[in-house]
Amino acid sequence: MNPRWKQRPEGSTWGDFGADDRLGRLNLITADKVRQGIAEVREGRSFCLSLPLDYPGGNLLNPRRYPPKLYGVVREGRANMPFRLSVYDVRHNDVMCDDAALIYLQYSTQWDSFAHAGQMFDADGDGVPEPVFYNGWRAGEHVPEALDMGGEPRLERFLSPGSEVLGIHNFARHGLQGRGVLVNLFDGIGRRREWVGYDTLMRAMQAQKAEVEPGDMLCFYTGFADLLLEMERKPDLHRLENSCAVLDGRDKRLLNWIADSGVATLIADNYAVEGLPAKDGGPDGHAALPLHEHCLFKLGVPLGEIWYLAELAAYLKQQERNRFLLTAPPLRLPGAVGSPVTPIATV
């Protein structure tokens, strides 16, 4: 019996990788999986899969997240940007720069950790739901509350102690390198908003001869990030909310396929991989973000959001390929819930 739970969500992987597991299906990215990814490298050509981290621009996509800000580190009472070392010794010719950044970790191209989305679930079996996360790790204990420092309700007021057990640093330590598989949803859908369920996805994969195996990192190209770039940090929210493909998190057959496929991660160039707000879930209690619940909470499948996939997708289409080596470790920032990432695809 797991010390943290007596019952697990239906269809979940809780306990499958051990009572104290923190990696979920990243456990399936084994040394063999890395070798499979390396075997896809034929030209040694690399593609950067990150947007500039100051995109999308503004805070319309998420009113609680803002673009990064750079600051000059203070030296001798002023910014070290640039700083002449002749201040210390007139013989020195060096001119130095040193900066700092304030970054909302899930503003742009990112990974979600398992601490990003939990659920109210009766893990104790006592009939009373409690807030828990993947593998039964507990809110308040393993995913602590931010410390309220008082004052105005600004970012600086709430100091986060981070989550040792489910923080993004666990993914970084694992490495996150293996075989990527890209499904080009833009090809058949273009820029119209379409909810992609099981049937649509299977048709796209069959047409592109795209196959996934356990441990693969599955990517969806929708064209959404291309729109963001065209908007030049001035996003048109109405247009974005009505453009490009999104996965239908309410499609049970799609969720079952994700579970059965054994994919290690789901990645897309759009805002949340799934459509938000999700379709109506009915009168009973349910997740507002059903794909997040399915992947982050139940299966232990990390989500990659707002990646830049256009150049890679164009290359793979021309070469009639869909597999590549994907290297995408997050920041090894202990305790963080999410992380910017600069993924590299090598073909």
What are 61-98's pLDDT values in tens digits?
A: 999 999 999 999 999 999 999 999 999 999 999 999 99
Whole-angstrom Cα distance, residue 39 to residue 30? Answer: 14
For the chain, give the mean pLDDT.
Answer: 96
Q: Single out the residue of 54, 328, 294 nearest to residue 177, CA to CA.
A: 328
Res 135: pLDDT: 97
What does the pLDDT average to over 182-209?
97
Res 154: pLDDT: 87
Could you give the angle at the alpha carbon of 110 between the alpha carbons of 170 and 22, nearest 5°?
A: 20
Whole-angstrom Cα distance, residue 64 to residue 59? Answer: 7
Res 68: pLDDT: 97
What are 331-343's pLDDT values in tens digits?
A: 999 999 999 999 9
Could you give the angle at the alpha carbon of 114 between the alpha carbons of 33 and 194, nearest 5°?
A: 80
Res 155: pLDDT: 87
Q: How confident is the model at residue 2 (pLDDT cuts 50, 70, 90)?
A: confident
Sequence-ordered list of residues with C-beta below 8 angstroms from that of 333, at least 6 positions apart, any chain: 105, 167, 168, 169, 172, 339
pLDDT at 319 exceeding the cut of 80: yes
pLDDT at 213 exceeding the cut of 80: yes
Res 147: pLDDT: 92
What are 32-51's pLDDT values in tens digits?
A: 999 999 999 999 999 999 99
pLDDT at 1 exceeding the cut of 80: no
Whole-angstrom Cα distance, residue 38 to residue 13? Answer: 28
Q: How confident is the model at residue 232 (pLDDT cuts 50, 70, 90)?
A: very high
What are 301-311's pLDDT values in tens digits?
A: 999 999 999 99
Asked whether the beta carbons of 74 and 80 are under 8 A apart, the reply is yes
Res 320: pLDDT: 96
Q: Which two tokens stand for residue 172?
A: 């970084």
The DSSP code for 244 is: S
Res 70: pLDDT: 96
Percent of the chain with pLDDT over 70: 100
Q: Which two tokens stand for residue 318?
A: 């021309």
Identity at 183, one-letter amino acid code: V
pLDDT at 256 exceeding the cut of 90: yes
Radius of gyration of the chain measured on its C-alpha atoms: 22
pLDDT at 153 exceeding the cut of 90: no
Asked whether the beta carbons of 280 and 313 are under 8 A apart, the reply is no
Host H or E run for residue 333? none
What are 172-193's pLDDT values in tens digits?
A: 999 999 999 999 999 999 999 9
